[in-house]
């Protein structure tokens, strides 16, 4: 059971990319290449395509994920999508607190913690993103920043905390082609694991993913680290051969 929980988890974050036809092509290419993939796999797609993707992925080894959720249950929140709505489309994972949401949409630690509550209440797995900017790293604040971000989520979610997944995504590595070294990633993942251990007896069940310019060439060394349990992959998840290669690496 514990081992199952930590089966590598590889998640594609499509961000604001795709179209009805491009999605169909990408999924067809992925499904054709899934033989031998044993890691847990998901793709987090734009909300508008959840219905299409629910159909395309039905019965496959790829789970469906969303990229964000409202902090509110329902009501007058124009443009937002609730956790109940995600559940309607068999969504299994939901990214919460991605650095692009924190940066461009002003999401606070408290808001992220509330969103995590919403996702857990629907029986889905939130993928909670934490990570420092380059300025914070250079100022020696990496540990303090990621701990502060995770602490808000732990505080609001109590004993449910072992049901989350975490993604360490250094902001300076997201979409930049710069990647944390395996040692840098492991160092932060170990800090996050220790923080989870202090909060729950089941911290070893929590998958801690690395994200930030992970690709087919660097995945193996990152995934070899003791506390790197998978990846949250942006750009490289949009190319079927690259994503499949990473899934196979994670399945070894």
Which residues are identified as catalytic?
98, 169
Pick 185 or 232: Cβ nearer ligand PGA: 232
Residue number of the CB atom closest to ligand PGA: 234
Q: Minimal distance in Å, beta carbon 198 to ligand PGA?
A: 26
* Residues 236 and 199: beta-carbon distance below 8 Å: no
Chosen residue from 13, 114, 125, 200 binding ligand PGA by CB under 6 A: 13
Sequence-distant (6+) residues with CB within 8 A of 48 are none
In angstroms, give the least distance from the CB of 208 to ligand PGA.
14
**Residue 149 belongs to what H/E stretch?**
helix 142-157
By CB under 6 A, the count of residues binding ligand PGA is 13
Separation of alpha carbons 227 and 198, rounded Å: 16
Q: Which is nearer to ligand PGA, 196 or 232 (CB)?
A: 232
Cβ at position 219, least distance to ligand PGA in Å: 11
Is residue 170 within the footprint of ligand PGA (CB under 6 A)? no
Scan for tokens 């360490």, then name that residue.
168
Which of helix, strand or coil describes residue 84?
helix
**Distance between CA atoms of 221 and 73, rounded to whole angstroms?**
41
- Least separation, in Å, of the C-beta of 2 and ligand PGA? 26
DSSP line for 86-98? HHHTT--EEEES-
d(C-alpha 231, C-alpha 215), whole Å = 10
Q: How many CA atoms lie less than 13 Å away from 100 in the CB half-sphere?
A: 14
Helix (H, G, I), strand (E, B) or coil at 68: coil
Environment class of 91 (CB within 10 Å of its CB; exposed 0-12, middle 13-18, buried 19+)? buried
23 binding ligand PGA? (CB under 6 A): no
**Closest CB 235 distance from ligand PGA, rounded Å:** 4
Site for ligand PGA in 171-210 (CB under 6 A): 174-175
Name the CA dihedral angle for 192, 196, 202, 208, rounded to a multiple of 10 degrees: -30
Binding to ligand PGA by residue 169, rule CB under 6 A? yes
Would you say 158 or 241 has its CB closer to ligand PGA? 241
Contact pattern for ligand PGA over residues 212 through 241, marking x by CB under 6 A: xxx-----------------xxxxx-----
Chain residues in the site for ligand PGA (CB under 6 A)? 13, 169, 174-175, 211-214, 232-236
């Amino acid at each position: 059971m514990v081992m199952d929980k930590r089966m590598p988890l590889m998640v594609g974050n499509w961000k604001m990319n795709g179209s009805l036809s491009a999605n169909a092509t990408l999924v067809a290419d992925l499904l054709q290449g899934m033989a031998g993939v044993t890691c847990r796999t998901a793709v987090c797609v734009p909300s508008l395509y959840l219905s299409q993707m629910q159909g395309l992925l039905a019965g496959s080894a790829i789970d469906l994920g969303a990229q964000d959720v409202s902090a509110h249950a329902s009501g007058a929140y124009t443009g937002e999508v609730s956790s109940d709505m995600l559940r309607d489309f068999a969504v299994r994972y939901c990214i919460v607190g991605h650095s692009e949401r924190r940066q461009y949409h002003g999401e606070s630690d408290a808001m992220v913690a509330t969103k995590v509550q919403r996702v857990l209440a629907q029986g889905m797995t939130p993928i909670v993103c934490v990570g420092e900017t380059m300025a914070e790293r250079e100022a020696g604040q990496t540990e303090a920043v990621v701990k502060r971000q995770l602490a808000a989520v732990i505080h609001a979610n109590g004993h449910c905390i072992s049901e989350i997944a975490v993604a360490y995504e250094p902001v300076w590595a997201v979409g930049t082609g710069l990647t944390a070294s395996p040692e840098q990633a492991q160092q932060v993942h170990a800090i996050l694991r220790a923080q989870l251990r202090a909060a729950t007896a089941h911290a070893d069940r929590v998958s801690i993913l690395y994200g930030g310019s992970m690709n087919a060439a660097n995945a193996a060394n990152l995934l070899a680290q003791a506390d790197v349990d998978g990846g949250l992959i942006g750009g490289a998840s949009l190319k079927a051969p690259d994503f499949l290669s990473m899934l196979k690496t994670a399945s070894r």
